[in-house]
């Protein structure tokens, strides 16, 4: 039987290193159809070698998509701190000052400004019963300790926004930016998290792209699907720890533990400057 630990205090005296999250899942296995863009070596750099100075420096650099995502989330948060903003003709300028957009790269400033304009035109949270709206820069969410069989792992699920719908359904909303397609697996992670955090609620998850203004359909899952996703996440946590242990025992095996997949993905890879397998130009 799978369940959250009945007495977390007992096990919390011991640090649980095993973890799973959407970030780890996407580093470990790509969504269907994007296999050609997947490179497991990125997971190796990001997770096994993250303390090496060069890798740490690369990880620290906020890349443009992340920066836009963060500022977009902050923008939505700020809109809802002061609802008079929605009727203020200087709202975008005020938010630009709050978000200090003048310090950002032109591209970031332009895209975030457009996101703010989009949101002002279509403030999808207005009139909704919002019980949680994150600012985006809160850091790691509190882990959810889960027991799968005799295996314990922490699930991390950073939730952007939670609404209570009129029929009392709990709605987890994830904000997106850019052109990436919605990944259904991320919704299942939210539904798994909700099973532990809000067990009394019927739950749905959905995605809203702040740039394209596209809303996904609400995604639901049967208890069996949520249960099988828990198994997937526990296996992911276990496999990842095994890979880390193998790497610690023999760092020369890096390329075998985290096999490279040089190709198109090298163009957008944060580690291309230090990766011996990086391909600079890929033939069309």
Residues that bind ligand SF4 (CB under 6 A): 39, 41-42, 260-262, 265-266, 269, 271-272, 275, 277-278
Nearest approach, Cβ of residue 260 and ligand SF4 (Å)? 4
Instruction: Provide DSSP, 4-67.
Output: S-S-HHHHHTS----EEEHHHHHHHSPPTT-GGG--HHHHIIIIISTTSHHHHHHHHS--HHHH
| DSSP classification of residue 268 | G
Return d(Cα 94, Cα 141) in angstroms, integer.
Answer: 29
Nearest approach, Cβ of residue 24 and ligand SF4 (Å)? 16
| Token couple for 217 | 């359909």
Residue 171 near residue 139 (C-beta atoms within 8 A): no
Q: Which is nearer to ligand SF4, 132 or 267 (CB)?
A: 267
Q: Which is nearer to ligand SF4, 49 or 171 (CB)?
A: 49
Q: Which is nearer to ligand SF4, 36 or 135 (CB)?
A: 36
| Token couple for 99 | 């978000």
Nearest approach, Cβ of residue 268 and ligand SF4 (Å)? 8
Nearest approach, Cβ of residue 284 and ligand SF4 (Å)? 17
Return d(Cα 32, Cα 25) in angstroms, integer.
Answer: 13
Helices then strands, each counted (H, E), the chain: 10, 7
Q: Which is nearer to ligand SF4, 174 or 243 (CB)?
A: 243
Q: Which is nearer to ligand SF4, 49 or 74 (CB)?
A: 49
Nearest approach, Cβ of residue 113 and ligand SF4 (Å)? 31
């Amino acid at each position: 039987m799978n369940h959250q630990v009945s007495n977390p205090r007992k096990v919390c005296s011991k640090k649980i290193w095993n973890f799973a999250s959407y970030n780890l899942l996407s580093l470990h296995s790509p969504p269907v159809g994007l296999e050609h863009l997947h490179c497991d070596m990125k997971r190796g750099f990001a997770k096994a070698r993250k303390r090496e100075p060069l890798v740490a420096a690369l990880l620290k650099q906020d890349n443009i998509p992340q920066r836009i995502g963060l500022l977009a989330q902050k923008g939505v948060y700020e809109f809802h701190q002061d609802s008079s903003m929605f009727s203020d003709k200087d709202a975008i300028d005020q938010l630009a000052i709050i978000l200090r957009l003048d310090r950002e790269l032109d591209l970031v400033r332009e895209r975030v400004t457009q996101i703010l304009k989009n949101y002002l035109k279509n403030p999808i949270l207005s009139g909704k019963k919002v019980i949680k709206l994150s600012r985006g820069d809160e850091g790691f969410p509190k882990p959810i300790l889960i027991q799968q069989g005799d295996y314990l792992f922490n699930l991390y699920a950073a939730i952007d926004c939670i609404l209570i719908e009129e029929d009392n359904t709990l709605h987890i909303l994830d904000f997106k930016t850019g052109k990436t397609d919605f990944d259904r697996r991320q919704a299942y992670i939210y539904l798994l998290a909700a099973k532990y955090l809000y067990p009394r609620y019927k739950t749905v998850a959905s995605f809203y792209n702040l740039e394209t203004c596209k809303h996904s359909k609400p995604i639901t899952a049967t208890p069996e699907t949520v249960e099988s996703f828990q198994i997937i996440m526990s296996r992911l946590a276990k496999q990842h720890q095994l890979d880390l242990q193998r790497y610690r025992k023999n760092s020369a095996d890096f390329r075998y533990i985290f096999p490279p997949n040089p190709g198109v993905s090298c163009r957008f890879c944060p580690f291309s400057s230090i990766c011996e397998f990086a391909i600079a130009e890929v033939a069309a």
